[in-house]
Amino acid sequence: MRLAQMAEAGKFDTICFQDTVAVAGSDALLAGDLTRTRLSRIVKLEPTACLAALAVGTKHIGLIATATTTYNEPYNIARRFATIDHISNGRAGWNLVTSQTEDEAGNFNREEHVEHGLRYERAAEFH
């Protein structure tokens, strides 16, 4: 909260929370690759929940979070961001991504990541 309030006081236009729906490097660790072990220890809070909390402690700064179209449904994304937009009086923003890492697939009962072209076809459903 304090950082968002400092950014707002410093006249920043927005704050943005990047997200990935996997623990980075988890597939590499399972395969015995220890080069990314440090990444696998970094677990982040879910950003849209954070934005809702920040909305009540700030007044002007834009609140943006990443959400993937590959591993979400259009209704759920619309509902989450509409809620934040309502709570913040129109300050919510969505950083739309189609996901990029294999690590994410396993969290959604998939053997492998969705093929690039199919991810973008699916993203078009969110317009």
User: Tell me: the pLDDT tens digits for 36-59?
Assistant: 666 656 667 899 999 999 999 999
Is 60 exceeded by the pLDDT of residue 25?
yes
CATH architecture of 2-124: Alpha-Beta Barrel (3.20)
* Torsion, CA 24, CA 117, CA 113, CA 77, rounded to 10: 70
User: Tell me: the pLDDT tens digits for 75-106?
Assistant: 999 999 999 999 999 999 999 999 988 788 88
Report the pLDDT averaged over residues 99-114: 86
Domain range annotation of the chain: 2-124
Within the chain, strands assigned E span: 14-17, 62-68, 92-97
| Euclidean distance between CA atoms 52 and 127, whole angstroms | 23
pTM: 0.84
Give the tokens for residue 70.
């590959």
| Euclidean distance between CA atoms 27 and 36, whole angstroms | 10
